[in-house]
Amino acid sequence: MNLLVTGASGFIGFNLSKYLLKNTDFEIYGVDSLNNAYDNNIKNLRTTELETFEKFLFYNLDLSNEESYQELKNLEISCVVHLAARAGVRQSFLEPKKYITDNAISTANLSNFIKDMKIEKFMIASTSSIYGDSGEKKVKEEQDEKYPPPSVYAATKLSGELLAKTILEGTDTSITIPRFFTVYGPYGRPDMSILRFIHWIYSGEEILLFGDGEQKRSFTFIDDVISALSLLIKSNENKTFNIGSNSQISLINVIKKIETMLDKQAKIKHLPRALKDVDVVIPDLSNMESLGWEPKVEIDEGLSRTIDWYLENKEFLKNLKFVAKTMAVKRNKLILMHQTHSNKVIEIVHRD
């Protein structure tokens, strides 16, 4: 197979491409815009490693620009794995136009390209954010999506799903949609919680924790995600799949585990709860289980492996920007909070 992997320099795209290049005879055409959604240094590190493989060819392209696809029209492509996206619930409220462009418009353009090229298989990565807060209930594909979606990010990802299905209706292209639940692990994004917690605890900086930390997540180790995607690439499934962990853990308990593993005490600064932050979302994994897949990496093993990778690369990682912006609710007012590189938090603006 010849695969086009979008977002190849991203966290999941890099790990998937690397796994396939090591374990299959696939040719991988990697596409990424290398934008500044988070620190580009780690994207460049991932890209450099992929370019050491003979069967990997990289294209620096913006998928929201229709002219970009001219560079891809002479390629023989069996399957498109669309992992390129602008991620993050909090940030999506601050920059909605960028999320619409990168998630909805880019997916529509890519769908038109697939239709013109008559590509047989299209895999569109999506998100558990579409479900919102699940409470004690497991969320099921095609049943429990929230309308309207609970965030700008969720709305743009769901739009991408629907646009692809509409554009490719009546063609021979099969569409598979994996929805991810809080993925973490080596080479992770520096704006996501686990890698940030490891960095802050190890370096002795304050952990910026939005809310009391009792929010629970189905943290899913990257190797489990890659095994699921590899299975879906080789299948003929034309449906949606939750890919997540079958257990949940609170943020505060994740911090405690990292403290124990690093033998360091966390300095926690509690900030107002982030806007639209969910208490918990629990995946129904029956669709993936029907294919013989189940998550194998428990949180203790996943944290340990992520910490080992961090320590091996600490000299490089210490220069990354572990920063973020977020919307939060405070004293019945909506505020914009900006975290500086030195971990100082500034309330830039508030409104009733």
- Rounded-to-integer distance, Cα 236 and Cα 232, Å: 8
With H, G, I as helix, E, B as strand and everything else as coil, classify residue 289. Answer: helix
- Rounded-to-integer distance, Cα 290 and Cα 135, Å: 24
Q: Which of 59, 296, 44, 57 lies closest to 187 in space, CA to CA?
A: 44
**DSSP conformational letter for 272:** P
With H, G, I as helix, E, B as strand and everything else as coil, classify residue 36. Answer: coil
Q: For 56, list phi and psi in degrees, rounded to 5.
A: -115, 130
Identified catalytic residue from 38, 131, 153, 310: 153
Single-letter amino acid code for the residue at 261? M
- Rounded-to-integer distance, Cα 134 and Cα 283, Å: 9
> What is the β-pairing status of strands 183-184 and 220-221?
parallel
Longest dimension (CA), the chain: 58
Q: To which residue do tokens 């579409």 refer?
A: 130
Q: To which residue do tokens 């069967």 refer?
A: 55
Active site residue 153: yes
Q: Give the H or E element holding residue 311.
A: helix 299-312
- Residues tagged active-site: 153
